[in-house]
Chain A
């Protein structure tokens, strides 16, 4: 786990565009305590992207990429939608899957990686929109959970099909009228977090991406639990400001308004017993490490 495998050939270093040089010089591959606080101090694993200005999906991407515990040995699986505009700019291995197939692709990939690299930890993280996760890909999403596939599924929930102009999605709120769904949604928002829990996910969180520290925590938990125990699911509200008629600067407020305790994106979390145990062990180890470091610092002083 380090930059050992991410080196530019010395004799061609000078002709490499600066974004690659920066990745090698100051990205946080291999940094044990990497997290959202590295944003601004180090090269992020995302370049320019072509999302709409102010789209909360871009914030979500930045926080997630800063928080993955093992980016150099992680493969992300994407699907068609606004998220797929970002993946070409991401410095983590990623695969674009046919719309809806992402959890099937990730299942095969995770198994293949463990055969191909038996001694190395390889994380697989699916990141797809609500249309891909809950509508067209629901079969693949659920089957992967039933089978206890060991990877994380992240859904960017913007409550509609944004990339194709605003069609109704299963995660859309009841009564919502979108540009290409003029009748208004006739049934309730699908309760995927509850379905995830019942389908065998060991860690399920629903939240917005308004707080980077929270995203760091849930990403780390989700990836570690998926690595050791079984499937995990994160449903992140990333409002499509374009479709709900907000300006570029209003995405953050929209998320803050929607995460109030009585609102539909109030923080929701489910952790299975084995996952709780793992998190407790991780916390204990972390505490020990910090205590040891403190002691070392005190001795040095």
Chain B
């Protein structure tokens, strides 16, 4: 049994197709609940290879700033780049840079319990999301520019500047209404 990908205007949450609006709400909730809500921007937004990419980068920064404004003391939002897909051996610092072949290291090192991928090419996002899903308890969100990611726990499709901004609005809207997971014994990623 596989997961059907959403049609335009829809998203999926744990494999169940939902109206996009429901996914904004859930993603914002997950971010606000997390101890270390994290955005992983990939090459498609880190590099200003066209005007749209640069605008998306601005929107990503806005979402990160919004997260910082809306979380409570003890919650630490992070913005960690995935600059390219090369296995950067022998040395990579997984705390400051995510390697798609070992995303679990970045999750473990920073105790990330909710993350969102944006601007990562499909094949690498699929790989990284699978590894995170298999080896950690981190909640994964994909702000996918194509048809959505079956390997993310929550996936949007057709990502755009507007959608990133809308997610930021939802975070603002739910500010103070969600109880963070700060006290739970098993908070953060596990291995």
Contact = CB atoms under 8 A, between A and B. Distances in A.
Interface of A: 5-12, 15-17, 20, 47-48, 50, 85, 88-89
Contacts of B47: 6-9
Contact of A8 (B48, B80, B90, B93): B48
Interface stretch (B8-16, B28-36, B49-57, B146-154): B49-57
Contacts of A10: 48, 54, 57-58
Contact of A11 (B57, B83, B91, B97): B57
B86 A89 contact: yes
B175 to A, nearest CB: 22
Contact of B86 (A7, A9, A17, A88): A88
A12 B87 contact: no
B152 to A, nearest CB: 21
- Identify the interface centre among A7, A15, A17, A48: most chain B CB within 10 Å of its CB: A15
Nearest to A47: B88
A10 B93 CA distance: 22
Contact of A12 (B57, B88, B89): B57
Contact of B58 (A11, A16, A48, A89): A11
Contact of A48 (B54, B90, B93): B90
Interface of B: 41, 45-49, 53-54, 56-58, 60-61, 79-81, 83, 86-91, 93, 96-97
Contacts of B49: 5, 7
Contacts of B60: 11-12
Given A7-B48, A9-B54, A17 B61 contact: no
A15 B88 contact: no
B89 A16 contact: no
Contacts of B61: 11-12
B57 A9 contact: yes
6 contacts: A6-B47, A9-B57, A11-B60, A12-B79, A48-B90, A85-B89
Contacts of A89: 86, 88
Given A11-B57, A11-B60, A12-B60, A17 B89 contact: no
A276 B52 CA distance: 47
A16 B81 contact: yes
What are the nearest 4 A-B pairs in CB distance?
A9-B57, A88-B86, A11-B61, A7-B48
